[in-house]
Structure 1
Amino acid sequence: MSELGARASGQGRIFQTSGDQYIQEHHHHYDAGAAPLFGTEPQSRPTAPAGPDSVRVPLVGRPPGILRDRTELRRVLGAALAGPGGDAHVVHGMGGCGKTALAHWLFTDAVRAHGRVGFWVNASERMSLRAGMLAVAGDRGATTGELAAAAAGQRAAADLVWHYLDSSADPWFLVLDNADDPSVLEDGAWLRTSPRGLVLVTTRHATSPLWQGPGMTRHSLGLLPLDDAAQVLCDLAPDAGDLESARKVADRLGRLPLALTLAGSHLAHQLLESWSMDEYDRKLDEESTAIVDRGAAGYGSGQSRHLVGRTWQLSLDTLAGQGLPEATTLMRLLSFLAADPVPLSLLAPVARGEVTADGLEPALTPGQLEPALRGLLDHSLAELVAVDGARCVRAHGVLLDGVAAGVPETQRAALAEAAAGLLEAALPASGTEPEERRRRLALLAPHAAELLAAAPGERAATVTVRVVRELFDAGEFAGALEVAPGVADRAETLLGTQHPVAMVAREVEADALWRMGRYAESETLHRRLLGRRELVLGSDHPDTLRSCYGLHSALMFLKGAGEAEPVLRRALEGQRRVLGEDAEETLYSWAALLELLPQLGKGQELEREAEALIDACERFLPPDHRTTVNARHNYAWGLHMTGRDAEAEPLVQRVLADRIRIHGPDHPQALSALTLKAQVAQGLGRTEEAVATLREVIERSERVLGPEHPFIAQDRGWLADWQAEAAP
């Protein structure tokens, strides 16, 4: 018994000290009757953990028959294999991107083409790494006693292994596969370099300090090019379709090698069904990329990392084990958005505490957002990208599908509400610079559309339609048309065709069709929407009158001013009666009348209406309001149409400057003003100036509206005529 009253029994020990001491004990447990290891007393050898069945064969399940692409990386690493060695290469990338497949190819090449002894060690856990590396030492000549002592902790295991690797008579190639948790490598004790060999590490962890040490070279592994991705499918399922069909499926699967492998294996091994690649592509439309899990059991080792829907859970589990369970919450939140880049500014309100994400488990608090995001980046679950100068985070679509499929039902409503709140908070403020406004809305639009698809509800529909409406108003007509039809379909399915939000969604689609030159489709949709609003809201409701305005726009280009005028006058008269003479919508419709009058031969009426309208705009609207600019723009165009180019020119210069300041130089309405400048110059006999200006318009408009837009075809016709006129 000690002076402190403690009592030891059996093989226990009591230590007592009056100062700071460092005491270390090793306890070794032996089986009776075994041969002695040290001395002559009967005792057993220390028992090492069971090692792998082989370290000379890559135990990777089902390796690819052909490794597609990776040409540059294979060249670099192949050159390293052909050299003397002495360095280590770290290949990092997201789960499923083909790191192990590349390592398998290099392993085979090292053994067959370069005469190296190949070693393959599973570095996913401490036990498997330790057992595998001790087996490597045994292969290189370590004695049973040495291995047993290392296994028992009587000597440093890593030092033993690397002693024998450094002393190897044969050059070697060592693969440390799946080193997704760098702490397993014990601060680099297990990861070293040797003049006798070459080391290759595969990992999802992109930023560990271990990868930046002496002799270390990092290589990022991304997705396959589309043609190579399609060829992977054809390699696995040659009878399921041609290369063009395979391209469609490969693109839908995000060119991710793991997803391609599982999909190709499924197509090649169907028993009760026999889908072609085209049919598989249609199924992806219906069921999302989680379908690649179907039939996957039996291919590969059966571990969770081999199933695309669950492969990234290992990384999330690792992050949770490191004290970051919030990374799972953040990943789930991202799964309610699109696979497109997500602006960091969209997430920033959570970090600042301006938007709360209530009801999430684990909670995503302001202080935890940054570490959670950093964890996703470190483990290659996401990457930082720059889009038009905006810093964004991007996760792979198949990863997001897999995460979304595993979201607990109890969390879906809270995640949807949080995503909707973030999108709403991310909408640009009214004073945002035009180009910045357009860029931010273009980044938000796909995420709003995906939210409505992932979590259909009135809140999501309202936010999504607002994003698309603002995108259109910012002049992103092509972008709005890209998402508006799908958003309108979902809103109608969710809320019904007569719900106000669903009708606004259809209105945006109809307006975008008109702006993109698809006038007949726009007219059809506007007529249908007008009838619906008349039935539900009545003839004089502001939304109904706005539908009249939209219909007139399509009719003007499709059937002429004569067809458009009565519809516009109905809108204008109704707005004057319901909203008042000074309402913004009333003045906006009035401005459109100036565009019709010259085409109707009412030039004298044009000047009277223009003067009254511009005076009203200047009295009732803020300075430089878009409606005031529209009024001046349409008046200048009317002056040109009636042969009064000298009067139009100073007004055109003012309108062009206003359009650029308010909308930005590449906004379609700014380009329209530039076109009018060219027309006025031509009308004044300055053909050389007119030709140069119109060439600029055509070049810039093609980028904004596309080369097939009717406006551009018209501009090309004018350009040809003016050039012919100027020719000697």
Structure 2
Amino acid sequence: MGGMAPPPDAHENSAHGTVSGQLVQAKDIHGDVTINVSSVPAAPASDVSLDPPRLATAVRGRDDLLTVLGDAMRAGAAVPHVLTGPGGFGKTTVAAALAERARSDGWTVFWIRPGSVTASMLEAAVEVGGSREEAERLRGTRHQAARWVWRHLDEAPRPWLLVIDNADRPEELDPDNRVGDQLGWMRASPGGFVLVTSRIDDPALWAPAEVHRVGELDARSATRALADHAGLPSLPGADVLAERLGGVPLALHLAGRILATHRVLFPDSNALLDRLASGIESLDDLAAPFVVGTDADRKLLSGVWELSLRLVAERDAYAAPLLRLLAVLGPEGKDIPLRRLPISELREGPFDGMDEAATARAVNALVVHGLVSVTTHQNETSLRLHPLVSETVRTALTEDDVPLLDEAEHLLEWQRDRDLDMESAALFMITMSRIRLHSQDKRSIGNSALKLIGAIEQVHLQALRTLVSVARTLLRLGSTSEAEEVLIGCVDAGTKSFGAHDATVMSARHFLAESRLYQDRLDDAEEAFRAVHADRARVFGGEHPDTLDSLYQLGLTALRRERWDEATEILGSVREKRARTSDEEDPLALLAAQNMAYVTMRRGDPAAAEPEFRHVHTTRKRDLGPDHHMTADAAYYVALARLEMGDAENALTWFTEVLRVWNAQLSQDHPQVAMVERSIAEAERAVARRPEAP
């Protein structure tokens, strides 16, 4: 018989594929085989750093906060403490300063960074006496690991400070519970003091932890901090530069580093301030070469706000576009009343589908991330951005954001002349943004009105329209000279690009004539109004609202010259035509009626004028509200008529209400405010002269 064939592949002695653990290969083995397998070696310990950052300069403006934290740390806090505030405002610096104090007092300091919380906490427990083998065994068991870590920290042989820095995603501290419940990595402990830093300013999330909000530095501290970072005992002009940077610690740090590094380019603060006139992005451009490390995005202004936007976008889809809209509507720290953000007007583009609940969630997301603050004045709720936040956000706008600029301008037109100061600033920023987005050099425009005017010819007509609206609002605010300067540039640039009979150019010409009327340059104003009225009549027709607006201004010029018959004829024509094509309560018809009544009063019949003034006031109060500056304008003439009629006490009541509204809406240095103050003084003298009743 032949020999037995071997089993298939009996002598194949190769291994294929991934091998885990130990592999034993044998060939032609006879007899017993014993294999002794060693235990699986422990995974190498995570390479985490528990060392706090070291401070390069003194900490300015935080003495009171550090005293509170130091006292709580030494007394043994019953709850963790949390530092909240926007990125770049110095939370980490405060924590690092506390860490230096703790170390000097003999405390152990543990610094936990985002992305490695579990590994760092396990390492901290090992540092105070825990077994490394146990730590590695528990690494994948979150709840057991947390109990094990805190047991060792509670029983540590000497006191410790544990800082959990940049906890901007609180779920990293406990994905299953509210972080304030203290079931995860943030807990109070008898063994030491726990301090957390986070952008999330939500006391309900952290409670019962004690929350401290870290804001911008006061003027004195900001100036000293800037000099510290520049490495100079004193820095001329530092106060002005610090104000430009809004007291934001990160911006002060970057500016100081720039001044220290580039002393040839920037021998003093004023030189850097001049560079920043072209835009805050210059700060990042100059500082970028010496900002390095894995967390570089937290070390530049643009990176700080981009990170904030990413964080807020993770929680709410509407929050990021809403922040960009607010950055346009509220530059320079201007308050944006919530009524300027109606749901009915915010359902286009990035806000499609947003209802009241979604709006509330988006606003709340921005507030808790420290990007927006809520203010209340005279029972009205408004939103406010820090000037540096809004400027940095606007700098990041791209051509994809042009519809957002359109939306912002639509909102401003929707309640035009209701908040003149806010509208003026917002319209200017919309113009700047439009020009920058359509300019070849995206960063050469800056914040100068003259530079904006010079760039008008490079962009589409919409930018010119917006800048004319800026000038119109400046006129309403009483900034006549500034408005005239802007309008001269608009007329020149617009005429070259679009022709003298373009509708926007004719609007600029009209408002330029208004600026001269307000300066009592009556000859110049009358000539300009006649020219623009003739051009508008030829282009639009005699009854077009714009044509009649120029005709109305001719009537007003005649009134200023005390040509009463001419003024009455012109104003009567405007009123009749607007009443016929619109209605008698049309705003221009009301203006004409009010000034016709003024002519009647100046001709010696205030009793006949007063009912007309009251009619205008009643209509405006109904349509515009009691606090609108034009409602107060009508009230002023009611008061003036009462004063002329000898009713000084009643007049004084009306004048006082006018002053309240104009102070709030027009500012205290507006010419109309001075006018009503003079009228109040006259009414008070009349009341004082009145003989007392027997």
Instruction: Report TM bin, short chain.
Output: 0.7 to 0.9
**Structure 1 residue 401 and structure 2 residue 396: aligned?**
no
In structure 2, distance between residues paired with 1:654 and 1:93:
51
Q: Distance in 2 between matches of 1:517 and 1:342?
A: 21
Cα distance between partner residues in 2 of 1:613 and 1:378: 49
Residue 129 of structure 1: how far off its partner (Å): 3.2
Give the match for residue 46 of structure 1.
Answer: 42
Map of 1:233 onto structure 2: 226
Cα deviation 1:352-385 (Å, max 9, x = unaligned): 974269xxxxxx9989x99996996598373463
The alignment covers a number of residue pairs equal to 646
Structure 1 residue 596 displacement after superposition: 3.9
Equivalent position of 1:382 in the other structure? 371
Partner of 1:468: none
Checking the alignment, whether the CA contact within 8 Å between 2:203 and 2:211 is kept in structure 1 is: no
Distance 2:617 2:493 in 1: 38
Q: Which residue of 2 aligns with 1:15?
A: none
1:133-532 residue pairs with structure 2 within 5 A? Answer: 133-143=121-131, 145-147=133-135, 149-150=137-138, 156-186=144-174, 187=176, 188-206=183-201, 211-212=206-207, 216-237=209-230, 239=232, 242=235, 245-270=237-262, 272-292=264-284, 294-295=286-287, 303-308=295-300, 309-311=302-304, 354-355=348-349, 377=366, 380=369, 382-383=371-372, 385=374, 389=380, 394=385, 397=388, 401=392, 412-413=398-399, 415-423=400-408, 426=411, 429=414, 435=418, 445=427, 448-449=430-431, 451-452=433-434, 454-456=436-438, 489-490=451-452, 492-496=454-458, 501=462, 504-505=465-466, 507-508=468-469, 510-517=471-478, 519=480
Deviations, residues 595-646 of structure 1 (Å, cap 9, x unaligned): 3445545434555555554333322222400111011111011112222222
Q: Could you tell me how far 1:233 is from its partner in structure 2?
A: 0.6
Worse overlay, 385-394 or 221-230 = 385-394
Write the deviation string for residues 272-291 of structure 1: whole angstroms up to 9, x where unpaired. Answer: 54431111111112252452
- In structure 2, distance between residues paired with 1:152 and 1:596: 83
CA contact 1:342–1:392 (8 Å) conserved in 2: yes
Q: In 1, Cα distance between the equivalents of 2:596 and 2:518?
A: 18
- 2:577 matches 1:592: no
1:118 correspondence with 2:108: yes
Secondary structure in structure 2 of the residue aligned to 1:87: coil
Aligned equivalent of 1:463:
none
Asked if the contact 1:416–1:451 (Cα under 8 Å) also holds between the matched residues in 2, the reply is no
1:621 maps to a residue whose letter is: S
Measured in 2, the distance between the counterparts of 1:166 and 1:381 equals 33
Contact 1:484 1:509 in 2 (8 A): no
Evaluate the alpha carbon distance shift between residue 85 and residue 552 of structure 1 in structure 2; reply closer, same or farther with a 3 A threshold: closer
Cα deviation, 1:537-556, whole Å, max 9, x if unaligned, reads: 77777667656644543444
Post-superposition Cα deviations, 1:568-590, rounded to whole Å, max 9, x if no partner, equal 44444555555444332333334
For 1:588-667, list aligned pairs within 5 A.
588-667=549-628
Shift of the alpha carbon at 1:525?
6.3
Partner of 1:385: helix, strand, or coil? Answer: strand
Residues 120 and 313 of structure 1, relative CA distance in 2, 3 Å threshold: farther
CA displacement at 1:328 relative to structure 2: 8.2
TM-score, length of structure 2 as denominator length:
0.75
Change (3 A) 1:559 1:44: closer
Alpha-carbon distance, 1:248 to partner: 2.9
Structure 1 gaps, min length 5: 1-8, 13-26, 31-39, 358-363, 461-482
Does 2:692 match 1:701?
no
| Deviation (angstroms), 1:443 | 8.8
Q: Distance in 2 between matches of 1:326 and 1:610?
A: 49
Paired residues of 2:77 and 2:193 also in contact (CA < 8 A): yes
CA–CA distance in 1 between the matches of 2:473 and 2:409? 22
Classify the secondary structure of the residue corresponding to 2:167.
coil
Q: What is the CA deviation profile of residues 322-341 of structure 1, one whole-angstrom value per residue up to 9, with x for unaligned ones? A: 79999888888988887667
Contact 2:435 2:452 in 1 (8 A): yes
| Residue 120 of structure 1: how far off its partner (Å) | 1.3
For residues 160 and 579 of structure 1, the distance between their equivalents in structure 2, rounded to whole angstroms, comes to 82
What per-residue deviation string (whole Å, max 9, x for no partner) do you get for residues 296-339 of structure 1? 6557866425521435666677789x799998888889888876
* Two-structure CA RMSD over aligned residues (Å): 5.0
Structure 1 residues 162 and 41, CA gap change in structure 2 (3 angstroms): farther
Distance between the aligned counterparts of 1:600 and 1:371, measured in 2? 54
d(CA) in 2 for partners of 1:319 and 1:604? 64
Indicate the residue corresponding to 2:180 in structure 1.
Answer: none
Query: Quick one: which of 63, 70, 93 aligns to 1:101?
Result: 93
Q: Contact 2:636–2:655 at 8 Å: present in 1 too?
A: yes
Letter of the 1:380 counterpart: H
Q: Secondary structure at the match of 2:349?
A: coil
Within 2, Cα distance between the matches of 1:328 and 1:551? Answer: 39
Distance in 2 of aligned mates of 1:292 and 1:637: 57
State the identity as a percent: 24
Q: Which residue of 2 aligns with 1:67?
A: 59
Distance change (3 Å), C-alpha of 1:162 and 1:303: same
Structure 2 partner of 1:464: none
In 2 relative to 1, CA 559–715 (structure 1 residues): closer, same or farther, beyond 3 Å? Answer: same
Q: Judging changes above 3 Å, is the alpha-carbon distance between structure 1 residues 724 and 264 closer, same or farther for their aligned structure 2 residues?
A: same
- Retained in 1: the 8 A contact 2:108–2:158? no
Structure 2 gaps of 5+ residues are 1-13, 24-35, 177-182, 690-694
